[in-house]
Structure 1
């Protein structure tokens, strides 16, 4: 009885305290919709990274990411199809949100729970999983008028995955069973390295021979000259050094070969089938399917789009997971958590200009240096992979069960 009174009291209070806002004019896409809620900017990045992994196995799935109104600077990184900023936890707005989006499942990361929204979602039998809950995020007793509101809200989740044993113990003391609460570790960005044809890798390795190679991935037009200047400087010390430039947008490759030639460098266009000879200094590639090949060929990867303040770029764990040492610029775009984790243990090198970039390329061309930093980066890149894989399986299973009994529109 006290729990239902707690919720009734909270709903009455939130009606008086908050004003419902318009839910927006974005149409709900057809088919299955996975709703992911992030309670921090870092979690938004990680969830959308997870979404991309899930969608690679479930191509028809659409993903809605939500954040609360205190994080209106948030944007939707790669992997999430839609971004909705939630207003206050008003009961009418919760109803409008659920009526409009009709999600097939909810994955909620972190604390800052919204009792009206969460309890209404549970009443509609929407499967919900709470992940990455830290000890200090476990809802506390609000007041003598709403003593069990936090426990009632947490009880709406089918599973609760916490960061550590301390958080799990708090929940067990609150009456949650070990079957529902699981210590899973911290939710982190991971990466699935892009595939590569073994035959093509062997063939290209033979063509290049023993030449040192470095790779600039996701290069923006404004970064091309910086990368070329760094390469020119590095070649003075490593005469056979080969640069591979991948462009951020395939359209940016038009005219790039001529631009490189105008700088006095001999260039091959990979997409046009140009041969890579001993005299080739730069290779241009715009084919995203070739990324796995270049990550494996190059022991050094400059993750570009990091001299651009706009949110963009690629996940640095892609090259790191394949043993390529990572260099990056000052702006970490869509992957701040991944870059911060690498930088924290010197498993990546940050540069701020062409001179610094060339210096790091030269330094990491020494096999022992590249191997050390690549090993450290690989350890970071694969941390959290077990939790990510488990979540992918859990989401797939829950959506399959939902499809069997409550097929989406």
Structure 2
């Protein structure tokens, strides 16, 4: 360590000193064996990070993963049973040391900005290899010590590799002191869905039953969205008289009353779950089993994803529908999955509607020849774009862990 770096870090650590609180390293015990620490700087990155972790653990059985969020994060929307998340401690010297002494990670991945100099430099000094993904020129220095010279450079220097998502971010990081040979540009982590196969005979049989008719799917439809969906279907049938809708409801208890409602509206329906046959005059096919969506996403060129049209909704995950080749229509209320919907919208792989009339218009437009196919192709390109990067990153992580294992064996 150079004398200047030693003096700068010493000054920073003194100015940001603080006694760690008992909860600073979380209540969870450190698991036995290898431990990867992955820090996720924002909730919008959580799904892709979790997807990467699952794939990594499939490739490396026995690897445990510690997921962390920025200090003070409300974790109510972060945690799940299989992927608990803990908050990092505040940017204090003692808290950083306590956190690392408790968890003793074998490797660290930092996804996003908000770099914390105490934690990063302490991890580096402890010999923990660090990799920075989706890098941003964003240092979360302690308020009392922001004036310390070159603290950004010292922090970036601790990473073995720095991957920014744009040339502009890479340039800013280099200006802050990131070594040119460490900084590169690569796409952000993407969700790469693992798709279950579907019996070929059922695909063929259902396709035959539909007799080449235009079809579309309304999936995860909430009770308060039903009227809008049915109105859009009737509107589209004026232009496409043989149009059939597969209506998947999010509440299984709604199927029976909904069938009576459809019959009162003179809409001919079949209950797929009861084995009702699809006839040439069937206009609505009711279903409620989430597993059945694997069939309909494959067969329907267009899918409206519900839980998105009414105020107070939060959307449902569009990845599987997109990966299975269906063009996606959605409402404006998708905040639980906003990032991926924004990516799909920007790639012209999905479109947003705000009313039943707009949904009907979108259906007629997208059911035109090749229109939905173009959107589906754009969606497929988007959801598979990150696959090579994930494979490369998994290899990089495994190489680092293998190297650490060899170093331990030689000591």
TM-score, with length taken from structure 1: 0.79
Q: Structure 1 CA distance, aligned partners of 2:338 and 2:81?
A: 16
Q: Is the 8 A contact 2:271 2:287 kept in 1?
A: yes
Q: Structure 1 CA distance, aligned partners of 2:208 and 2:146?
A: 74
1:339 alignment partner, one of 320, 334, 341: 341
Q: Structure 2 CA distance, aligned partners of 1:47 and 1:33?
A: 16
Residues 21, 87 of structure 1: alpha-carbon distance in 2 compared, 3 angstrom cutoff: farther
Quote the residue 1:39 is aligned against. Answer: 41
Deviation at 1:10?
A: 1.0
Q: Is the 8 A contact 2:306 2:330 kept in 1?
A: yes
Residues 211, 124 of structure 1: alpha-carbon distance in 2 compared, 3 angstrom cutoff: farther
Deviations 1:12-61 (Å, cap 9, x if unpaired)?
A: 11126x98573376434746654332334433454344345545656876
Residues 117, 301 of structure 1: alpha-carbon distance in 2 compared, 3 angstrom cutoff: same
Q: Pairwise mapping of residues 171-182 of structure 1 onto structure 2 (< 5 A)?
A: 174=177, 176=179, 178=181, 181-182=182-183
Unaligned runs of 5+ in 2: none
Deviations 1:144-174 (Å, cap 9, x if unpaired)?
A: 9844433332233232222345655676784
Quote the residue 2:255 is aligned against. Answer: 256
Residues 108, 359 of structure 1: alpha-carbon distance in 2 compared, 3 angstrom cutoff: same
Q: Pairwise mapping of residues 182-331 of structure 1 onto structure 2 (< 5 A)?
A: 182-192=183-193, 194-197=195-198, 199=200, 200-248=202-250, 252-264=251-263, 265-270=268-273, 273-280=275-282, 281-288=284-291, 290-307=292-309, 309=312, 311=314, 313-314=316-317, 316-331=318-333
Quote the residue 2:152 is aligned against. Answer: 150
Q: Pairwise mapping of residues 69-80 of structure 1 onto structure 2 (< 5 A)?
A: 69=71, 72=74, 75-76=77-78
Residues 231, 79 of structure 1: alpha-carbon distance in 2 compared, 3 angstrom cutoff: farther
Q: Is the 8 A contact 1:63 1:82 kept in 2?
A: no
Deviations 1:72-126 (Å, cap 9, x if unpaired)?
A: 4883277971233334211222233334444453221233211211223334444
Quote the residue 2:23 is aligned against. Answer: 22
Q: Structure 1 CA distance, aligned partners of 2:225 and 2:21?
A: 45
Shifted more, 395-404 versus 148-157: the winner is 395-404
Answer with 1 or 2: which has the greater Rg. 2
- The answer to whether residue 4 in structure 2 is matched with residue 2 in structure 1 is yes
Deviation at 1:350?
A: 1.0
What is the DSSP-based 3-state SS (H/G/I as helix, E as strand, rest coil) of the residue aligned with 2:370? helix
Q: Structure 1 CA distance, aligned partners of 2:249 and 2:62?
A: 28
What is the DSSP-based 3-state SS (H/G/I as helix, E as strand, rest coil) of the residue aligned with 1:367? coil
Alignment length (residue pairs): 396
Deviation at 1:284?
A: 0.7
Residues 234, 330 of structure 1: alpha-carbon distance in 2 compared, 3 angstrom cutoff: same
Q: Is the 8 A contact 1:325 1:377 kept in 2?
A: yes
Deviations 1:302-346 (Å, cap 9, x if unpaired)?
A: 1222236455511x3433344321101112233222222232354
Unaligned runs of 5+ in 1: none
What is the DSSP-based 3-state SS (H/G/I as helix, E as strand, rest coil) of the residue aligned with 1:197? coil
Q: Structure 2 CA distance, aligned partners of 1:85 and 1:166?
A: 29
- What value does the CA root-mean-square deviation take over the aligned residues? 3.9
TM-score, with length taken from structure 2: 0.78
Quote the residue 2:92 is aligned against. Answer: 90
Shifted more, 272-281 versus 362-371: the winner is 272-281
